[in-house]
Amino acid sequence: MVPSLPFVDDSFERAFASNLYGHLPPDDRAHLLAEMARVSAELVILDQLAASGPFREGPEERSLRNGTRLVIHKCYFTVDRLLEEIHGAEVVMNGPVFAVLRLRRGSG
C-alpha cells in the first residue's frame, strides 16, 4: 500500500517518480498519481518499458547478491498503456528502455 504523501496541498511545482510506478499494483498506482497531483502542479513519471511485446504485469522473483530471493510486483509498460493510465499526460521521452510522461494538473 502506498501511504499518503506527508505534505500539504500544492507544496511543490513538480513531483517526480523514477522507476517506482511499475512496482505498484493498479490501486496503488492510482493512489500515487492522486497524491502527486494533490501536492504538486506537475507530475513526472519515469518507468521501464517492455523490451518487446505487450504490457506485462504480475509477480516476479528477484535474487539479491546475498542469495536472498524475494517476489516483487512488476509492470513492463508500453507507452500507450502508460497514457491510458495517466490520463492527459504527454510523452517527454519514449524508449528504448524507459519512458517519461508529464502531466500538468488540470490537463488530465
Domains and CATH numbers, the chain: 15-104 (3.40.50.150)
pLDDT in single tens digits along all 108 residues of the chain: 889 999 999 999 999 999 999 999 999 999 999 999 999 999 999 999 998 888 999 999 999 999 999 999 999 999 999 999 999 999 999 989 999 999 998 655
Backbone CA torsion sign across 86, 90, 94, 100: negative
Global confidence as pTM: 0.88
The SS3 of residue 65 is coil
Phi and psi at 27, nearest 5°, equal: -65, -40
- CA separation, residue 33 to residues 3, 22, 54, 86 (Å): 12, 12, 23, 8
Look at residues 42, 18, 19, 38 and name the one whose alpha carbon lies nearest to residue 30. 38
